[in-house]
């Protein structure tokens, strides 16, 4: 296990942010190599570093891993954030995939043409309030425990906490009717590793703004 993981991406949330959150929650320090130009992406491609010519890519433990879910699953397993057996892992996967479906709408939002944004925002609000948040509130209510699965922290809690913050940025009252989700978010946020990550100056990225969208257009189109 030589050296810190290195994250290859542009300087924005995009698809890398859940990886930053999970590494931070696990207390694993990491470095970032930011792509700024098309040439930066082409160099990684020409080096043979990107199995499918795409980022995110994370150098970790001698591997050059691509595909967000592969990276997240590895980090979770390495740091015991993946439950104690295959049934707990199935629940963690099911919850994480639901989070990912809503997150897909949210992470794309800044990169949509202006004309599409209103419709997408309405869809995000509707799905968060009527499909996803009720499902997770119901899980917490059903067992009354502090975490989603197995009475201990897992990747599912970290992904959900990140999602709750990011959804609230777009819809400030979205958590009004979900007291257990709010409590979970507070609990996870107060863990020492998370608390540190949530402070200014950490590697957590702000909302993907216009400058970020411009940079991405240059690199990827």
* Closest separation in Å from C-beta 196 to its own copies: 26
How far apart (Å, rounded) are the C-alpha atoms in residues 19 and 75?
Answer: 8
Contact 106/169 with Cβ under 8 angstroms?
no
133-to-68, 177, 183 alpha-carbon distances in Å: 23, 9, 13
Q: Mention every residue, 6+ apart, whose C-beta is less than 8 A from residue 53.
A: 45
**Shortest CB 199 distance to its own copies, Å:** 30
Q: DSSP for 98-155? A: HHHHHHHHHHHGGGS-HHHHHHHHHHHHHHIIIIIHHHHHHHHHHH--SSSSTTS--H
Least Å distance, CB 176 to its own copies, is 21
Determine if 20 is a binding residue for its own copies (CB under 8 A).
no
Q: Give the binding range for its own copies (CB under 8 A) out of 4-12, 22-30, 85-93, 201-209.
A: 85-93
Among 78, 182, 204, 218, binds its own copies (CB under 8 A): 78
Of the residues 89, 155, 159, 166, which one makes contact with its own copies according to CB under 8 A: 89
Window of 7-15, 32-40, 68-76, 179-187 that interacts with its own copies by CB under 8 A = 68-76
- Under the binding rule (CB under 8 A), the answer on residue 59 touching its own copies is no
Q: Which of 97, 116, 118, 214 binds its own copies (CB under 8 A)?
A: 97
Residue 208 C-beta: closest distance to its own copies, Å:
22
Cα angle 15, 181, 105 (rounded to 5 degrees) comes to: 30
Q: Which of residues 122-161 bind its own copies (CB under 8 A)?
A: 131-132, 135
> Is residue 63 involved in binding its own copies (CB under 8 A)?
yes
How far is the C-alpha of 138 from the C-alpha of 157, rounded, in Å? Answer: 14
Residues found near its own copies in the complex (CB under 8 A): 51-53, 61, 63, 65-71, 73-74, 77-78, 86-87, 89-91, 93-94, 96-98, 101, 131-132, 135
């Amino acid at each position: 296990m030589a050296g810190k993981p290195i994250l290859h991406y542009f300087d924005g949330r995009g698809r890398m942010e859940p990886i930053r959150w999970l590494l931070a929650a696990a207390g694993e320090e990491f470095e970032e190599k930011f792509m700024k130009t098309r040439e930066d992406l082409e160099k990684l491609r020409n080096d043979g570093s990107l199995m499918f010519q795409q980022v995110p890519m994370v150098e970790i433990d001698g591997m050059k891993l691509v595909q967000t879910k592969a990276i997240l699953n590895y980090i979770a397993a390495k740091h015991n954030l993946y439950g104690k057996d295959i049934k707990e892992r199935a629940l963690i996967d099911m919850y994480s995939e639901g989070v990912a479906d809503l997150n897909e709408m949210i992470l794309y939002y800044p990169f949509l043409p202006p004309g599409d944004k209103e419709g997408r925002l309405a869809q995000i609000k509707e799905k968060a309030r009527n499909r996803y948040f009720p499902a997770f509130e119901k899980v917490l209510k059903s067992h009354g425990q502090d975490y989603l699965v197995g009475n201990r922290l897992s990747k599912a809690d970290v992904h959900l906490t990140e999602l709750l913050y990011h959804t609230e940025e777009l819809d400030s009252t979205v958590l009004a009717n979900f007291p257990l989700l709010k409590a979970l978010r507070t609990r996870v946020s107060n863990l020492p590793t998370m608390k540190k990550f949530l402070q200014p100056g950490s590697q957590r990225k702000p909302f993907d703004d216009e400058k970020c969208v411009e940079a991405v257009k240059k690199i990827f189109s």
